Amino acid sequence: MRSSSKSLPARTADYIRKNGLISAGDHVLAAVSGGPDSVALLAVLSDLKDALAIERITVIHFDHRLRGEESDSDREFVRALAFSAGFDFHCGADDVRAFAGARRISIEMAARERRYSFFMSTAAKLSADKIALGHTADDQAEEVILRILRGTGPSGIQAMAPMTANGIVRPLLFAGRQSVMEYLRECGIGFRVDSTNLTPSCQRNFLRLEVFPLLRKAFHPRVTQTITRCADLAREEESWWTSQVGEIWQDVCLELSEGRCKLDCGKMRQLHRSLVRRVLRSTIESVKGSLSGVGLTHLEPLVELVFSNRGEKCLEIPGGIQAAKHGAALIVKSRQHAAPEVSPDEILVVDEAGDYVFGRSSFEFRFRDETACCLPESGVDYVCMDSDKLKWPLVLRYRKTGDRFCPFGMVGSKKLQDFFTDLKIPGNERQTVPILCDSEKICWVAGMRMDDRVKLDVRTKHVLTVRLVKATDSAR
């Protein structure tokens, strides 16, 4: 499969090296459908195998069982192509139409899901390092326009990445479809034509067959390159935003566990709205596992909730995700997330400073010699108490019927049940909130509010600080 034309392989080699797509010694799976782009990909990788020190190339093909004999012919064409090049061949198949019906999703979405599932499972089985796909610059331009029309934000404009975290690489993402076709023609390499791509039966086909020809005529022939350059710039800037989120994550994230994340709204409100939006995107991705189906229409109400001064009803996010503000904290969790079972009668005696674990929470108790003016302000996960106002020993427990306390900053007492109701704490979560008490009173509803009776004042001489350790802290 070596060719006389070196133009496309040489440019591809430069692109691969520039983006670190393939390393020496890699086992690469080349996903080949039989169409021109994937056939060109295989030809180019074959040409570059020695130059890039690729250890092994394996051809993989997925049969969607959508086009009957035509699909069968595609499979056999790719099998022959692989064997003629001396590469191993692995094929997967699934009834995509039935899968789409069962999941109530489009044929296009079902095909992609089953195809990628086959790619990843085959890579795991064969211990492959990379999965190479034949997406071109034209595919990238189409993806950018599709995302914009569907309401994507700035991060979505980056569209397809040259390489993903799970090892998918796109070595031809820089190349226009015209240059791919010229390469195949010059080398005399045949390919298959998918008849479903010849009619505007889906949005992508409509863009490819109807819209882009008009854009090239009305604007200029290189409109594809202009759009993909925009995607490259968006990806570069998004990389910077990602680093910004990483820098402030430990400050705004109070808790991160499987299916659940707790954010500090007070600290979030000190950030630029653009950064808040990206923190929320990262949060949803951590809880949900992906951002599939999540757009600006779902993020903007969340941003407003962060900057709101009052609690709101629960917001629903695609994929079974819920978000609600509880006091100064925003809880984002999977609807299927279940709080760990706790024993309502469990107690833990705290008779001295030290580190304690109670339920799913960790606490740090410390005596401090500093005066009140030298101490950090109390917050949702950190409080400073006048030790002389405490009746030792202290006890960590869960709520009891009839519990009352004096919320910090308020006059008079309040039922704990009413306090939870005001903050819209779901009933199934109330039993998991640790309560710090002394022998007379509630001192702190952990992660929510301290009792006003233990606050520091001008007469304070001895200070006890208590810190609710974040889940992310304990995992470090």
Is residue 382 one of the residues assigned to a domain?
Answer: yes
Please check whether residue 325 is in contact with residue 308, taking contact to mean a CB–CB distance below 8 angstroms.
yes
CATH of the domain at 418: 3.50.40.10
User: Per residue in 424-468, pLDDT tens?
Assistant: 787 767 888 999 999 999 999 998 899 999 998 888 888 999 998
- Asked if residue 35 and residue 184 are part of one domain, the reply reads yes
Please check whether residue 30 is in contact with residue 41, taking contact to mean a CB–CB distance below 8 angstroms.
yes
CATH of the domain at 304: 3.30.465.60
CATH of the domain at 117: 3.40.50.620
Please check whether residue 205 is in contact with residue 134, taking contact to mean a CB–CB distance below 8 angstroms.
no
Is residue 246 one of the residues assigned to a domain?
Answer: no
Is residue 250 one of the residues assigned to a domain?
Answer: no
DSSP state, residue 156: G
- Asked if residue 277 and residue 173 are part of one domain, the reply reads no
Q: What's the number of domains the chain is made of?
A: 3
Please give the structure tokens belonging to residue 313.
């009803």
Is residue 196 one of the residues assigned to a domain?
Answer: yes
Q: Which long-range contacts (CB under 8 A, 24 or more apart) does 414-418 make?
A: 416/442, 416/445
- Asked if residue 297 and residue 221 are part of one domain, the reply reads no
CA distances from 77 to 39, 81, 192, 193, 340 (A): 10, 6, 8, 11, 54
Q: How many CB atoms lie within 10 A of CB 475?
A: 8
- Asked if residue 392 and residue 327 are part of one domain, the reply reads no
- Asked if residue 299 and residue 191 are part of one domain, the reply reads no
- Asked if residue 215 and residue 278 are part of one domain, the reply reads no
Per the structure, the complete domain to which residue 263 belongs is given by: 258-334
Is residue 452 one of the residues assigned to a domain?
Answer: yes
Give the DSSP H/E element, type plus range, for residue 80: helix 69-85
b/e per residue 287-310 (b: at least 16 CB within 10 A): bbeebeebeeebbeebbebbeeee
**Of 142, 128, 66, 52, which Cα lies nearest the Cα of 100?**
66
CA distances from 193 to 67, 71, 90, 141, 178 (A): 12, 11, 21, 21, 15
The upper half-sphere exposure of residue 367, i.e. CA atoms within 13 Å in the direction of its Cβ, equals 9
DSSP state, residue 210: I
Is residue 447 one of the residues assigned to a domain?
Answer: yes
The whole-angstrom separation of Cα 241 and Cα 162 is 18
Please give the chain's pLDDT, 476 residues, in tens: 444 445 899 999 999 999 999 999 999 999 999 999 999 999 999 999 999 999 999 999 999 999 889 999 999 999 999 999 999 999 999 999 999 898 888 888 889 999 999 999 999 999 999 999 999 999 999 999 999 998 888 888 999 999 998 999 999 999 999 999 999 999 999 999 988 888 888 889 999 999 999 999 999 999 999 999 999 999 999 889 999 999 999 899 988 887 889 999 999 999 999 999 999 999 998 888 888 778 888 889 999 999 987 655 678 888 888 888 877 888 898 876 655 556 778 899 998 888 888 877 889 999 887 655 556 666 668 899 999 999 999 999 999 989 999 998 888 899 999 998 888 787 767 888 999 999 999 999 998 899 999 998 888 888 999 998 754 443 33
Is residue 238 one of the residues assigned to a domain?
Answer: no
- Asked if residue 371 and residue 318 are part of one domain, the reply reads no
User: Is omega for the bond preceding 344 within 30 degrees of 0, making it cis?
Assistant: no
